[in-house]
Structure formats: structure tokens, C-alpha cells
């Protein structure tokens, strides 16, 4: 799976803006782990207390909708500009998607998290701060990123827990997969990286999906991090076209 490491300076700005919100909301900020996160001073993390059922720790790619199923997954939000646009588009075409949310974004925009849930979409934990080098960090740091994001998303949603965990940039480790699975969050991969984050053009995004769809059913898009006009327009073309070809839209297996 490709890593999206370049051009992510916006996350540094987002984290800085969200820091104040986090401190005010929780008192003990999760961001202390970002500053250190070393084995010398491992950050603490405790799992949310609600009971969960463990799931398979292998990375999921298949669709619950079967052989003709397609999973639309949308990463890095929620975003106040682009998430509502994508929700409207998905509703128009009667398509459900999986939203892989960054914890700080969910905490900042709980109204959008609730709208995603109310529309029948599923939630996915995408870590607190989208650190694509998580697999190079300590187990304690990984745990804090995953569990704090789970807590943030669950609180923002009004109690609906994320059903999946997607490592930023695909930076899974055995530890992160086992931890997520123990919390009822199936590790979630992708088969088609649309590279919409790189703004290659609407035509290029559509062509990538059509070319790579034989690789598997899980498609990766984004609803945050910049101008998502190309993503919206690509999905506007793809959703009806794929339906015409006999595909059905569903959720990743758990």
C-alpha cells in the first residue's frame, strides 16, 4: 500500500489548531505523546471502557457486498467544506461509504461525525494526528494514537464506535493491528489508491479506478487536506458508471 507522506504540511497546522480544543476538552492533552513518544517516556493510553467484541486482526480488503461489491473509503476528515459535499453526493446516488476519520478532526467537528453516522455510513479510526511514520514509533505511542482517536471519534459521534482502523499511509504493525482488532476495529487496507490527494486531475482519478479495480474492491479517496473538487467530480462520474456496470456498493468485511 502506498504511503501519502508528501505534501502533508496541513496536518501540522491542523494539529496546532486542534491542540487548544483538545486541552480545553480533556485537560490532559493527547498531544504530549506527539512531542515525545519515545521509549524513555512512553505515553499512557487507556482503552475506552465500553465492552467490545474482538475481530480478525488481518488487514481487510474484501467487500461485504460480495464479488461485485465496491467499498468507497474516504480518509482524513471530517472537513467542514468537503465532507458535506460528499455526503450530498453519496445520498444522491444511494451509496454508503466508510469514513476514516482523524481523531483531532472528529473532535473539532462533532456535528459532521454525527451527520456521517445519521446517513448510514460507517466510521473508521485513522489515528489522532495522521502520523505516517507510526510504524517506526514505540508500541506505547501507537497505542495512544489509536485509542485516543477511538475515544475522540466515539465521543464526537454520540456513542457510535469506529468499526475499522486504517493506519496512516498504511503504516500498520503487528502491534497496531492486534490492538485495533482487540477493540473491535478491523484493520482496513485498500486496493485502489486513487491518488486524489496529489490533485492529478479528475480524468486521471477516474482512469486510475477503472484501470486498478481488478486489483480489489476497496477504493481510497479523501475529504480533507485541501481542494477536493477533483475527488467530488470523479465520484460524480464513477458512481453511476460503476452501477451501470453491475457493481454494488457496500462496506469492507469485518
What residues act catalytically?
75, 222
- Decide: 223 and 76 in contact? Cβ < 8 Å: yes
| 224/232 Cα distance (integer angstroms) | 12
β-bridge partners, 250: 71
3-state secondary structure of 120: coil
CA-nearest of 64, 91, 95 to 242 is 95
Q: CA-based angle 13:107:218, to the nearest 5?
A: 85
Name the DSSP class of 27: S
C-alpha cell at 85: 459535499
β-bridge partners, 136: none
Residue 106 CA: distances (Å) to CA of 27, 114, 153, 208, 241: 18, 10, 6, 29, 31
Amino acid at each position: 500500500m502506498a504511503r501519502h507522506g508528501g505534501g502533508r504540511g496541513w496536518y501540522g497546522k491542523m494539529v496546532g489548531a486542534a491542540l487548544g480544543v483538545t486541552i480545553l476538552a480533556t485537560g490532559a492533552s493527547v498531544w504530549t505523546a506527539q512531542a515525545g513518544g519515545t521509549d524513555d517516556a512512553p505515553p499512557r493510553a487507556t482503552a475506552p471502557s465500553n465492552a467490545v467484541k474482538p475481530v480478525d486482526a488481518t488487514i481487510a480488503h474484501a467487500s461485504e457486498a460480495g464479488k461485485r461489491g465496491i467499498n468507497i473509503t474516504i480518509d482524513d476528515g471530517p472537513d467542514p467544506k468537503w465532507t458535506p459535499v460528499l455526503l450530498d453526493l453519496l445520498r444522491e446516488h444511494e451509496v454508503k461509504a466508510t469514513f476514516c476519520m482523524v481523531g483531532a478532526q472528529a473532535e473539532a467537528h462533532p456535528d459532521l461525525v454525527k451527520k456521517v453516522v445519521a446517513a448510514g455510513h460507517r466510521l473508521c479510526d485513522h489515528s489522532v494526528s495522521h502520523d505516517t511514520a507510526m510504524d517506526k514509533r514505540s508500541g506505547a505511542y501507537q497505542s495512544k494514537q489509536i485509542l485516543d482517536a477511538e475515544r475522540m471519534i466515539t465521543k464526537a459521534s454520540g456513542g457510535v464506535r469506529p468499526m475499522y482502523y486504517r493506519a496512516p499511509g498504511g503504516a500498520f504493525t503487528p502491534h497496531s493491528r492486534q490492538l485495533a482488532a482487540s477493540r473491535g476495529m478491523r484493520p482496513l487496507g485498500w486496493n485502489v489508491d486513487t491518488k486524489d490527494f496529489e490533485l492529478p486531475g479528475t480524468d486521471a482519478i477516474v482512469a486510475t479506478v477503472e484501470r486498478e479495480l481488478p486489483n480489489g474492491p476497496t477504493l481510497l479517496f479523501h475529504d480533507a487536506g485541501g481542494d477536493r473538487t477533483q475527488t467530488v467530480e470523479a465520484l460524480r462520474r464513477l458512481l453511476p458508471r460503476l452501477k451501470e456496470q453491475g457493481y454494488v456498493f457496500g462496506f469492507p468485511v469485518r
